[in-house]
């Protein structure tokens, strides 16, 4: 599932290809991923419109139209954008395509149809309706610490909670826990404030570095947990192996003794 850095990369691609271009016509070959309109309604809404701007909030990309309404692109596992001119460059699993007046096209490809496309009339109302939290790169340290205060759930679950923190997914949550040496099952409220501040700073640093590398994993730093995130892999120091368990509802990888487990003391 694309996380914040991947969607920011989509945003840059969209902005660099499709802004300020009028949509001459729209072609929908499969409207299954268009969730709140039929294919014909989608065509009617978009024909003649122009994309003026885009806004990313966590894993959601909103494309603003010239009528101040939006198209939401939620990419799922296999959603992708393809800007092209000639028919030979059309992708195999293109679900719909915008034809611009400059003779270019923007297609949306999605082999497994897990993406979600919504027409959004009121952006603020939609964000409130789905309960989308503050973006992980926009939230302040104070807001982060306040949200963590006294929570008994795991730090892994906290980082994944899109109603608190929008944009961090399974892979980057494991990376934050590894780099701060916090066991992912640690209870959030039991983690010392100094350590939570470190987690906040590391989270934002990781996301920014991933964006700088266009979310291209092969270019991520060699000392990132990404290199060892597999059960049974030896730790960098060779003293233990990667373990896994379900934490926060997701498969989680970690080094059991290298990462400290913080828990509330049980009352006697």
Looking at residue 18, the DSSP 8-state letter turns out to be: H
Task: Tell me if 100 sits within 8 A of 23, measured CB to CB.
Answer: yes
pTM assigned to the model? 0.93
The CATH number that domain 134-254 falls under is 1.10.8.50
Task: Tell me if 150 sits within 8 A of 181, measured CB to CB.
Answer: no
The arithmetic mean of pLDDT across residues 141-161, rounded, is 97
CB within 8 A of 225, min separation 6: which ones?
A: 174, 175, 178, 179, 253
pLDDT 10s digits, 24-60: 999 999 999 999 999 999 999 999 999 999 999 999 9
Predicted local confidence at residue 267, as pLDDT: 64
Beta-sheet strands, E only, within 127-242:
134-135, 165-166
pLDDT 10s digits, 87-136: 999 999 999 999 999 999 999 999 999 999 999 999 999 999 999 999 99
Task: Tell me if 1 sits within 8 A of 27, measured CB to CB.
Answer: no
d(CA 5, CA 59): 8
Block residue for tokens 């109603």: 163
Intra-chain end-to-end CA distance of the chain, in Å: 43
Task: Tell me if 52 sits within 8 A of 66, measured CB to CB.
Answer: yes
Q: Residue 217: which pLDDT band, with cuts at 50, 70 and 90?
A: confident
Q: Which CATH architecture has domain 4-130?
A: Alpha-Beta Barrel (3.20)
Indicate if the pLDDT at residue 238 is higher than 90: no
Indicate if the pLDDT at residue 230 is higher than 90: no
CB within 8 A of 151, min separation 6: which ones?
A: 158, 187, 188, 189
| Domain boundaries defined on the chain | 4-130, 134-254
């Amino acid at each position: 599932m694309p996380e914040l850095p991947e969607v920011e990369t989509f945003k840059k691609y969209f902005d660099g290809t499709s802004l300020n271009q009028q949509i001459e016509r729209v072609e929908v070959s499969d409207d299954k991923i268009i969730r709140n309109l039929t294919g014909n309604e989608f065509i009617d809404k978009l024909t003649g419109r122009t994309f003026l701007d885009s806004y990313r909030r966590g894993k959601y990309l909103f494309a603003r139209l010239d009528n101040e309404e939006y198209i939401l692109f939620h990419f799922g596992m296999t959603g992708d954008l393809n800007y092209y001119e000639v028919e030979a460059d059309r992708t195999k699993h293109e679900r719909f395509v915008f034809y611009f007046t400059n003779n270019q096209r923007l297609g949306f490809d999605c082999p497994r149809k897990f993406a979600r496309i919504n027409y959004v009339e009121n952006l603020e109302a939609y964000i409130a309706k789905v309960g989308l939290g503050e973006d992980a790169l926009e939230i302040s340290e104070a807001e982060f610490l306040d949200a963590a205060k006294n929570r008994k759930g795991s730090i892994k679950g906290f980082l994944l909670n899109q109603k608190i923190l929008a944009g961090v997914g399974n892979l980057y949550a494991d990376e934050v826990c590894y780099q701060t040496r916090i066991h992912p099952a640690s209870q959030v409220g039991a983690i010392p404030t100094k350590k939570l501040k470190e987690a906040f700073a590391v989270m934002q640093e990781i996301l920014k570095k991933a964006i700088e590398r266009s979310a291209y994993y092969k270019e991520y730093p060699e000392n990132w947990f990404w290199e060892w995130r597999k059960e049974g892999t030896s730790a960098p120091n060779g003293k233990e192996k990667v373990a896994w368990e379900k934490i926060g509802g997701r498969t989680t990888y970690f080094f059991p003794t290298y990462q400290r487990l913080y828990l509330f003391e049980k009352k006697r």
